[in-house]
Structure 1
Amino acid sequence: MKYLDKAGISKIFIIIFHVVGFIGFSIPDYHDFFLSFVPYHLLLMAAILMANQKEYNRNFWVAFIFVYLSGYLIEVVGVATGAIFGVYHYGETLGIKFLDVPLLIGINWVIIIFSVGAILKKHFKHQRTVKSLVGAAILVGLDFLIEPVAVRFDYWAWENSEIPLQNFTAWFFIVFVLLRTYYELDFRKSNPVAFTMVVCQFLFFLGLNLTIA
């Protein structure tokens, strides 16, 4: 039997951790236990994704830092003003906060931008704007699934418990800008685990939506 390479092992880890997380989130008696591991899960997924990048040149790190800081600072402004996504605040699930925003939220932006960016790399050749628009639409769809789960498990909470349309509109434009910048920076964007990462996230949040409905 042919041995598994790094990408193959990484895909297995991604699938296992999402399946285990889904089971844990689905059983009320284990909610608190599994919620305490959410920050570590995000860090692990980011580490796996980055470990499978094909290149780590200067532009890669510029993209990484740009996406992290942009995502984090947009959230800081969003929480402080309510002017970007709507009025919301973060709970305790995502871990340590600075300026009322979890430091890990920037890592989440890195995971979704680098994953979808890598998937769409081979499509719409030389049409960076089209790639970015398609990627933004995909991630708004993911956010649509994330929101009810996030509210249920204290990731964040919305004013009057209503998720505003403004949130999804803002997500679309922010993701578009982040992806457009990602594609402008010249580094090898291939990542063999990106598709597995995105599919697992979609299935994880879709499954939880059906479970907690």
Structure 2
Amino acid sequence: MALGAMVVAQVASGLQARPITLTSVVVLLLALTAVAFAAAAHSPGRALGAFAGAVLLGYAAEWVGIRTGFPFGEYRYTDVLWPQLGGVPVIVALAWGGMGLAAHAVARAIAPGRPVATAALGALALTAWDLFLDPQMLRLGLWVWAHPGPYREVPLSNFAGWLAVSFLMMLLVGRLLPDARRDGRGLVVLYTVMAVMETIGFAAVFDPPDPLVAISGGISMGLFAALAWRRRWPR
């Protein structure tokens, strides 16, 4: 139910010129859906613990990042997203948590029983999402880079930082959700839905469309989703 509501909110946000409120709604529904699917595969306590751990790690990385420029590069959040804690919008930390759980499930489906490989693949899968996220949020004026880079003004240091933080996040989630035999297909569905929605949004819904982001993000996220679905799920 939350997944369906997230899709509706995502579509509605793509049709508006300044969908700030709906953007926050999408992230809240993303987080709720991720926790619900993780709880179904593991337990409510473990799901909430893993989500909280990912949220806190993501928040810590952002808090350090806006003060030091490490590990993403020099940037700052504008006053558009509220509430903020220490200059970091709360909704940003929730997004780290929701997609962190989804990316980990995708990686675990591809490389079950191999924690380091899962962490590496999960880091790549989560960073693939940022190929969509950063260009979209820059369009909305939610944050500003001190030194714009080559990918829709996003510096390459950002993606290096995402890989590093995401790798740590995947290791953490793997420790908090240790049973690799659990069926995480719900979270893989969530990751797949996000890939499809973002690709359609940049290809045909957003004004103006952005084929470069649609192709690069769609191929990157789509590859991990396809690899996850090719695996035989445990019974």
- Asked if Structure 1 and Structure 2 have the same fold, meaning a TM-score greater than 0.5 normalized by the shorter chain, the answer is yes
Q: 2-side partners of 1:31 and 1:196: how far apart?
A: 28
Aligned position for 1:177: 168
Which ranges of structure 1 fall in alignment gaps of 5 or more residues?
Answer: 1-8, 25-29
User: Is 1:18 matched with 2:19?
Assistant: no
Normalising by structure 2, report the TM-score: 0.74
Change (3 A) 1:10 1:60: closer
SS at match of 2:72: coil
Q: 2-side partners of 1:200 and 1:94: how far apart?
A: 24
Output one character per residue of 1:18-67: Cα deviation in whole Å (capped at 9) or x when no partner: 22322x2xxxxx323x2222222211221122223223365444322221
Offset, 1:110: 0.7
SS at match of 2:106: helix
Bigger RCO of structures 1 and 2 (CA < 8 A, at least 6 apart) = 1
Which ranges of structure 2 fall in alignment gaps of 5 or more residues?
Answer: 211-235
User: Is 1:195 matched with 2:217?
Assistant: no
Offset, 1:108: 0.6
Query: How many residues are paired up?
Result: 198
Aligned-residue sequence identity (percent) comes to 20
Shifted more, 85-94 versus 103-112: the winner is 85-94
Query: Where do 1:37-116 residues align within 5 Å?
Result: 37-52=22-37, 53-54=39-40, 55-56=42-43, 58-116=45-103
- RMSD over aligned Cα, in angstroms? 2.3
Aligned position for 2:127: 140
SS at match of 1:206: helix
SS at match of 2:109: coil
CA contact (8 A) 1:149 1:205 kept: no
- Amino acid of the residue matched to residue 7 of structure 2? I
Aligned position for 1:204: 197
Q: 1-side partners of 2:118 and 2:56: how far apart?
A: 22
Normalising by structure 1, report the TM-score: 0.81
The equivalent position to 1:168 in structure 2, one of 159, 168, 179, is 159
